[in-house]
Amino acid sequence: MNKKARAAVSLAFLVAFAPAVRAADERSENWQMHCSVCHGEDGKAKTEQGKKKKARDLTNAKWQDTIDDGRIVKSITKGHDEMPAFGKKLTEPEIKALAAEVRSLVKKAS
């Protein structure tokens, strides 16, 4: 690989991972684009759509304790109750990152 190509690769790497290293109180771009409308910026689902569709408060620690990561990934991929499926809109790594983001919501809330 020549110098120029290497620079391009490291730039692409930076761009791809930049959202993950942003300030912790900011939601990822995928969250803002696909999830905020119902779950809100804080995951508490206090939005109009969230109330209408009865989305739960994802920051609830007791609820988080009762489910495992596989269930979160599955719910995002295939949908859950009134929640649409995202398996065709997002890639598997994106869905896993969002599942981790769901987990991070509870720590911030406490």
Q: Which of 56, 60, 85, 97 binds ligand HEC (CB under 6 A)?
A: 56
Contacts of 41 (CB under 8 A, 6+ apart): 27, 32
Two tokens, residue 106:
């509870």
From residue 82 to residue 101, what is the string marking binding to ligand HEC with x (rule CB under 6 A)?
xxx-x-----------x---
Q: How far is the CB of 96 from ligand HEC (least distance, A)?
A: 11
Two tokens, residue 79:
């949908």
Report how far residue 88's alpha carbon sits from residue 68's, in angstroms, rounded to the nearest whole number: 22
Report how far residue 17's alpha carbon sits from residue 97's, in angstroms, rounded to the nearest whole number: 11
3 or 88: CB nearest ligand HEC? 88
Q: Which of 23, 24, 81, 110 binds ligand HEC (CB under 6 A)?
A: 81
How many other CB atoms sit within 10 Å of the CB of residue 93?
Answer: 8
Q: Does 71 bind ligand HEC (CB under 6 A)?
A: yes
| Interacting residues toward ligand HEC by CB under 6 A | 34-35, 37-39, 49, 53-56, 58, 67, 71-72, 75-76, 80-84, 86, 98, 102
